Amino acid sequence: MSNALFYNQFQPVCFDKCTACGSCIQICPKKCISYKKNDYGTTIALKNMEDCCACNLCEQACPQLNDSPWNYPLESYAAWSMDKNIRETSASGGIATELYRYCSGNGYYYSGVKMNDNLLPEYGLYSSEKEFLAFQNSKYVHSDTKTVYFEIGELLKRDKKVLFIGIPCQVAGLQQYIKTKKISDNNLIVVDIVCHGTTETHILQEHISFIEKKYNNTTTGVFFRDPEEGTHTFTFSLKNGEKTYYKKKVHRNDAYQVGYHYGITYRENCYKCKYARRERVGDLTISDYSGLGKAASCDYGPRNVSCILVNTLKGKQIFLAIKDVLIHADKRPFCVFW
């Protein structure tokens, strides 16, 4: 099929703004929307016009084509898990893990990103107290929401409580999906993670394949911030079983690390991200605490410390539920310079 015929049959839902959040795919009644690569190798959602019924639900559910529920942060905290092991094995302070722990023990379903058997990040949805550790630690690559928006919507219809943690465009995708489906979000808590861009999965796969051939090895696990080296070192490592056969700290001549941390290999939409702003889409925002101690002194260092922004009253409720029980939190001045 020629390019002209291809693009006549398959039309982007939102052209160059697409974040591949999956909201349009999961809401389409005709199942005629799917992911495909554009000319730059970026995954975008395209609808097959031969099957499209012109209901426009895809455009209504797209967070890029609609305004998001922006919240200006009410409070900010430096925080970390009271569990030493959780803190040391998490990307920063272990706040996401403790939120999952709280929710798993208090009747919530909870959703986050895990690596599947093919070393690709995808969203999962659980309620068991045994599953949340699969979501621990950062994944510096684009993740697939699969059918998680649909699944969460069905749970909310049944008045189930749900926690969703993801990067802002995926949080906004869920919110717009729920809004378009006219489902109450009273039992939904959303937490956005401060993001500075995502890399396409094929870049990671090609990088791992290159290293496997070079070292004549097989990869069963990947870390972007390996706890064995200290998550603060941003060590990228590949493992075969329990053995690490490749590891590189940030800025140490690893192509994937250089491409990601210098902002070279992001998806096209990431360079004009509408979520890179003070106002947040989540009830809470979590991140590394960059610049800790610059605006006001503190008597602890920045290693394995998270920043928490409390953005809504709903966010404050769950924050207070884990504060001084699962996490230590120190109130800090809110200073964001962008």
* Mean pLDDT across 114-139: 92
CA angle 50, 142, 87 (to 5 degrees): 150
CA angle 334, 273, 186 (to 5 degrees): 65
State whether residue 161 is helix, strand or coil. strand
pLDDT tens per residue, range 266-299: 999 999 999 999 999 999 999 998 777 777 777 7
pLDDT tens per residue, range 33-68: 999 998 888 999 999 999 999 999 999 999 999 999
- Higher-scoring residue by pLDDT: 151, 338: 151
> Which helix (H) or strand (E) element contains residue 318?
helix 313-322
Alpha-carbon distance of 102 to 277, in angstroms, equals 29
What does the mean pLDDT of the chain come to? 93
178 phi, psi to nearest 5 deg: -60, -40
Domain ranges of the chain: 3-58, 75-197+279-332, 201-261
Q: What is the pLDDT of residue 130?
A: 80
pLDDT tens per residue, range 213-272: 999 999 999 999 999 999 999 999 999 999 999 999 987 789 999 999 999 999 999 999
